[in-house]
Amino acid sequence: MNIPQMQMADAEGIRRVAEQLVMAAADEGNAVIVGRGSAYYLRNRTDSFHVFVYAPFEERVRRLQQSGKSEDEAITLAETVDRDRADFIKQYFGIEWPARHFFHLMINSTMGDKTVVQMVLDGLSAIQKGTLSPTGEIVPDQGT
């Protein structure tokens, strides 16, 4: 078999496909793209709203335990996921994860799903109304 012609999937190939999909979804508009480096791929687009939803380490471990993991498994998984995400962003973007300046909003998920969703909607609304610029700066009220 001619292995080079098989175009076997490797990490770089998967990353390229992920980037193409993220960019295509953004070009179509009105998309919610979760993870996969999307905030970094779309960092130069002014029509994107980047939100980072996080939970404290202990909360992530608790949630993993609720899903059936032992405490040791949950701790290991939470650490591994963080390390893998940080390594991916560092390798492909040369940035320390999470690069906070790429996000318009960072929300602690322990506030509850409804609160998190409302905060995201409020932030998006502020940008759409022009009271918050796409770069995160507050736009002064023009008396309208």
Does residue 56 register a pLDDT over 50? yes
For helices 57-66 and 71-93, the axis angle rounded to 10 degrees is 120
Confirm whether 139 is domain-assigned.
no
Of 99, 103, 96, the closest CA to residue 127 belongs to 103
Segments forming the whole domain that contains residue 26: 3-129
Confirm whether 138 is domain-assigned.
no
Confirm whether 71 is domain-assigned.
yes
CATH number for the domain including 75?
A: 3.40.50.300
Does residue 107 register a pLDDT over 60? yes
**When comparing pLDDT for 88 and 133, which is higher?**
88
Count up the domains in the chain and report the number.
1
Does residue 6 register a pLDDT over 50? yes
Confirm whether 30 is domain-assigned.
yes
Confirm whether 137 is domain-assigned.
no
What pLDDT does 127 receive? 84
What pLDDT does 19 receive? 93
- Residue owning tokens 């309208």: 144
Does residue 90 register a pLDDT over 60? yes
Does residue 144 register a pLDDT over 60? no
CB atoms within 10 A of CB 6: 8
Mean pLDDT of 76-84: 94
Confirm whether 136 is domain-assigned.
no
Confirm whether 31 is domain-assigned.
yes
Confirm whether 45 is domain-assigned.
yes
Does residue 7 register a pLDDT over 60? no
What pLDDT does 131 receive? 66
Long-range contacts of 23-26 (CB under 8 A, 24+ apart): none
**When comparing pLDDT for 58 and 46, which is higher?**
58
Does residue 142 register a pLDDT over 60? no
